[in-house]
């Protein structure tokens, strides 16, 4: 069974070579200072919301947008009620949004809904009416200075910007905490560090901005893969755009608490990463050879971890089966596997613990839960291994996740 030890060692070495640079992001995020903003310009913004059966939460999002410190006259909210069978459209309209409806059971997903929403806006408003567009999910709520802070970064010259993603329900259970901690880590130690080091950040699902110039360059919204956010990110990075980050623009969204919901959502993400790599892999590789570090960074984020995790799992399963059929002891294989798992647990725990400590005040739950869920964070991440394997072989379709937590950013802070 020496080859098992060798394979696991090689995989560990490859992991280290691929991802060790991210450990350098930690001191950058902690100690490097952000440059001062340039003089601020006032802009007119459209807010885009694709919503499917979100009557329970969409009103709170629109309320948080209308409560922004940025001038309300410069913000207009647009909602695409996408294949809704509830009162989403009515609630959104009564809350002050411009509402469109879409019914299409063949072209399903947020990407198609955004494409049609932008097309409808272009028909009803002059070409240059809006300077930029925000994209939110219906379950989001915003800190009251969100758009004001994003406008400052837009005025600095960034045409695509992502904000600081926090969660409504960190303390519900180990699943919601796993999501939440990952997004906090992504905000502070991935996008935050990338921004400070002059690299491109990545859009993650919700809470991002793009300018009218980007919309025109992209020819609308042609991003329809299962992870349209990553597709949008990689498309723009491979075309030379640099995505900015605004740490003071804080958004909260609701995380799944049931494992079947989490499985359904994350298998879509895993499949989407594979789709994006299949579509843009050559462009990313060309960018790497041109010396574009952001292309390397994005490649590491969408592909190798999945492949290496699956390969490691398959090798150990094969070795176990071989040992059983050949009459050899399973002990060496088991020890090798346990050592790999233990080392991965320690690494992930370290990542979770550092994030928990540095973002302590941003985590809105009890101190006991903050500490406990740092220990369960590696277990949440381990569940990506079977999800990644399944994503390779399964047909995956976009399906909505139910949201029901109705709260404001101020209430979240008071309840912590």
Structure-token pair, residue 128:
């240059």
d(C-alpha 169, C-alpha 180), whole Å:
8
For Cα atoms 298, 299, 300, give the angle at the middle one, nearest 5 degrees.
90
For Cα atoms 251, 187, 115, give the angle at the middle one, nearest 5 degrees.
60
Identify the CA nearest to 376 among candidates 405, 401, 391, 356: 356
DSSP 128-171: TS-SEEEEEETT-EE-TTHHHHHHHHHHTT-SEEEEEEEES-TT
In what side-by-side order are the strands of the sheet with 208-211? 98-102, 75-82, 45-51, 132-137, 208-211, 160-167, 244-253, 141-142
pLDDT at 311: 66
d(C-alpha 331, C-alpha 253), whole Å:
45
d(C-alpha 333, C-alpha 136), whole Å:
47
To which residue do tokens 């809006």 refer? 130
Q: Is 244 helix (H, G, I), strand (E, B) or coil?
A: strand
Contact 260, 174 (CB under 8 A): no
Identify the CA nearest to 140 among candidates 41, 30, 234, 65: 65
Q: What is the pLDDT along the chain (416 residues), one digit of tens a residue?
A: 555 566 666 666 777 777 889 989 999 999 999 999 999 999 999 999 999 999 999 999 999 999 999 988 999 999 999 999 999 999 999 999 999 999 999 999 999 999 999 999 999 999 899 999 999 999 999 999 999 999 999 999 999 999 999 999 999 999 999 999 999 999 999 999 999 999 999 998 899 999 999 999 999 999 999 999 999 999 999 999 999 999 999 999 999 999 999 999 999 999 999 999 999 999 999 999 999 999 999 999 887 565 666 666 666 666 666 666 776 666 666 676 677 778 889 989 999 999 999 999 999 999 999 999 999 999 999 898 888 888 888 888 888 888 988 888 888 877 66
Structure-token pair, residue 291:
């010396």
d(C-alpha 248, C-alpha 365), whole Å:
20
Q: How many CB atoms lie within 10 A of CB 260?
A: 8
Residues paired with 47 in a beta bridge: 77, 134
Q: CATH code for 36-170+182-254? A: 3.90.550.10
pLDDT at 331: 67
d(C-alpha 135, C-alpha 114), whole Å:
9
Please count the CA atoms within 13 angstroms of the CA of 59 that sit on its side-chain side: 12
Q: Which pairs with CB-CB distance under 8 Å and at least 24 residues apart come from 110-114?
A: 110/50, 110/82, 110/228, 110/398, 111/221, 111/223, 111/224, 111/225, 111/228, 111/231, 112/224, 113/50, 113/52, 113/80, 113/82, 114/48, 114/50, 114/80, 114/221, 114/223, 114/228
**For the chain, how big is the Rg over CA atoms in Å?**
22
Q: How many CB atoms lie within 10 A of CB 365?
A: 20
């Amino acid at each position: 069974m020496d080859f098992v030890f060798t394979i696991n060692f090689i995989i560990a070495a490859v992991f280290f070579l691929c991802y060790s640079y991210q450990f350098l992001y930690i001191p950058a995020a902690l100690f490097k200072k952000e440059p001062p903003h340039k003089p601020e310009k006032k802009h007119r913004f459209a807010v885009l919301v694709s919503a499917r059966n979100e009557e329970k939460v969409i009103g709170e999002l629109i309320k948080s947008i209308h409560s922004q410190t940025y001038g309300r006259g410069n913000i207009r909210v647009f909602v695409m009620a996408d294949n809704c069978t509830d009162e989403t459209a009515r609630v959104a309209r009564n809350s002050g949004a411009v509402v469109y409806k879409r019914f299409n059971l063949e072209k399903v997903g947020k990407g198609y809904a955004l494409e049609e929403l932008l097309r409808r806006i272009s028909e009803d408003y002059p070409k240059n009416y809006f300077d930029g567009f925000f994209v939110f999910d219906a379950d989001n709520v915003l800190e009251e200075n969100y758009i004001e802070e994003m406008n400052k970064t837009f005025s600095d010259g960034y045409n695509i910007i992502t904000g600081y993603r926090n969660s409504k329900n960190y303390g519900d259970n180990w699943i919601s905490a796993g999501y939440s901690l990952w997004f906090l880590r992504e905000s502070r130690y991935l996008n935050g560090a990338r921004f400070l080091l002059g690299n491109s950040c990545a859009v993650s699902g919700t809470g991002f901005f793009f300018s009218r110039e980007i919309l025109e360059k992209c020819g609308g919204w042609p991003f329809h893969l299962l992870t349209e956010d990553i597709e949008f990110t990689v498309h723009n990075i491979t075309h030379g755009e640099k995505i900015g980050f605004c740490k003071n623009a804080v958004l909260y969204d609701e995380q799944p608490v049931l494992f079947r919901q989490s499985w359904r959502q994350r298998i879509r993400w895993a499949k989407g990463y594979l789709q994006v790599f299949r579509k843009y892999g050559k462009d990313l590789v060309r960018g790497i050879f041109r010396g574009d570090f952001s292309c390397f960074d994005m490649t590491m984020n969408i592909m190798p971890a999945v492949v290496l995790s699956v390969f490691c799992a398959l090798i150990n399963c094969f070795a176990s089966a071989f040992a059983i059929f050949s009459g050899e002891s399973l002990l060496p294989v088991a020890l090798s596997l346990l050592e790999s798992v233990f080392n991965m647990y320690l690494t992930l725990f370290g990542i979770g613990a550092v994030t928990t400590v540095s973002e302590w005040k941003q985590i809105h739950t009890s101190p006991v839960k903050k500490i406990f869920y740092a220990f369960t964070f590696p277990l949440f991440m381990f569940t990506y291994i079977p999800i990644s394997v399944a994503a390779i072989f399964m047909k995956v379709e976009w399906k909505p996740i139910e949201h029901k937590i109705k709260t404001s950013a101020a209430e979240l802070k008071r309840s912590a």
